[in-house]
Amino acid sequence: MSKDVVIVSAARTPIGSFLGALSTVPAPKLGAAAIKGALNKINLKPEMVQEVLMGNVVQAGTGQAPARQAAIYAGIPDSVPCTTINKVCASGMKAVMQAAQSIALGDADIIVAG
């Protein structure tokens, strides 16, 4: 029997213009801002997160494991497994889908995904 899955908080990265103020901010730092925002909205301690699944449309120039980088910048412990999903424009949605499946199957209770 699968568990119910709910989204308890959401945050997004800011929207900027081409070559605008955000053009120099690395993707993992934008991801970290979204993670922190979502956790802060519900007063969830980073230590309670059991997994991080983050989509990244274009990984070129972001370094290795953008999801891990974002999690570390957001204060999530190094012991938490992190996975970067690359499905181009569907990356974030695929991350949410995989998180929902993991929770439904009982593999985890609290996953950051996006």
- What domains sit in the chain, N to C, each tagged with a CATH number? 27-113 (3.40.47.10)
Closest CA to 92 of 46, 43, 27, 39: 27
Q: Is the pTM of this model over 0.85?
A: yes
Residue 38 has pLDDT above 80, yes or no: yes
Strands 111-113 and 82-85: unpaired
Q: Find out whether 95 and 89 touch, Cβ atoms under 8 Å.
A: no
Residue 1 has pLDDT above 80, yes or no: no
Closest CA to 112 of 4, 10, 25: 10
Residue 86 has pLDDT above 80, yes or no: yes
Angle formed by the axes of helices 66-73 and 27-41, nearest 10°: 50
**Using only C-alpha atoms, what is the Rg of the chain?**
14
Residue 106 has pLDDT above 80, yes or no: yes
Alpha-carbon distances of 57 from 18, 60, 80, 110, rounded to whole Å: 16, 9, 22, 24
Average pLDDT over residues 27-48: 98
